[in-house]
Amino acid sequence: MKRTLLFIATNLGIMLVLGITASLLGVNRFLTSNGLDLTKLLMFAGLMGFGGAFISLLLSKPIAKWSTKARVITQPSNSTEQWLLNTVAAQAQRAGIGMPEVAIYEGEPNAFATGATKNSSLVAVSTGLLQSMTEQEVEAVLAHEVAHIANGDMVTLTLIQGVVNTFVIFIARIVGYFVDGMLRKNDEENTAPGIGYMVTVIVCEIVFGILASIIVAWFSRQREFRADCGAANIMGQSQPMVAALRRLGGMAEGELPKNMSAFGISGKGGAMALFSSHPPIEERIAALQAR
């Protein structure tokens, strides 16, 4: 419940800030008496699309900590925590990035990485993963997350999300304008957009948003293959990552918050494969063995 409320509150806050910014810049006045001002509409769509994506990226680390109740290791309290810090430090050095924060959270087997930049990131692992995997398998999972950071995957996915958001907002309003015009073609007295415009924009944003999520999910799946290979490079061999994936394939997957699922180590396939942020584990293993 807290995660859902945080997600809603964060999005409302982002939309409020962007709405005020759009008003101050004047780019929200794209509906004119002469029709659509496509330049202003594109500027508005870009501000809302990229602005929302980048604000979410900047907030990703604190939100991840809060939503998973992850505890950042500052002073190791046991040998496991010390090993985690040492392992991530060595991997970060090999990957050429700054030392990420390392955290542990309660939950079923999973792990994730997040953060706005390569040198200001977070790697978190669940207690379930630490308890269910061998040390070498955990090391491979950590290397996978470090590879995500080194590859700049958080920023890349944010840019992709920003592009598709912009097109969804832009095209939805063009379609809404023309549909509204057709519905009111005999009403010459009122030139302002009517209910047809608003309803069409909402419907188009939902439909186009679903289609856009397929594109984003495809890019996310390609990142997973790259991160698997990156883990193998960091460790100097593929077998530990293969073993970790095989183990994950036989485990109950730990669910992550929606805004973190694309950065976890495991994901869902099946009938919803087009919307999955992760490829099937069998495909990931085959790709590693073929490299």
Q: Which residues are catalytic?
A: 145
CA distance 145 to 282: 19
Residue 278 marked as a ligand binder: no
Place of tokens 């491979």: 140
Residue 148 marked as a ligand binder: yes
Tell me which amino acid residue 235 is: M
Q: Would strands 120-126 and 101-105 be described as parallel, antiparallel, or unpaired?
A: parallel
**Residue 44: both structure tokens together:** 């508005």
CA distance 184 to 12: 32
Residue 253 marked as a ligand binder: no
Q: Would strands 71-72 and 101-105 be described as parallel, antiparallel, or unpaired?
A: antiparallel
Neighbouring-strand partners of residue 71: 104
CA distance 164 to 215: 8
Residues 201/248, Cβ–Cβ less than 8 Å? no
Task: Please give the biggest Cα pair distance in the chain.
Answer: 77
E strand spans, the chain: 31-32, 35-36, 71-72, 101-105, 111-117, 120-126
**Residue 285: both structure tokens together:** 């293993």
Angle at 213 between CA 140 and CA 109, to 5 degrees: 30
Binding-site positions for Zn(2+) read 144, 148, 224
Binding-site positions read 144, 148, 224
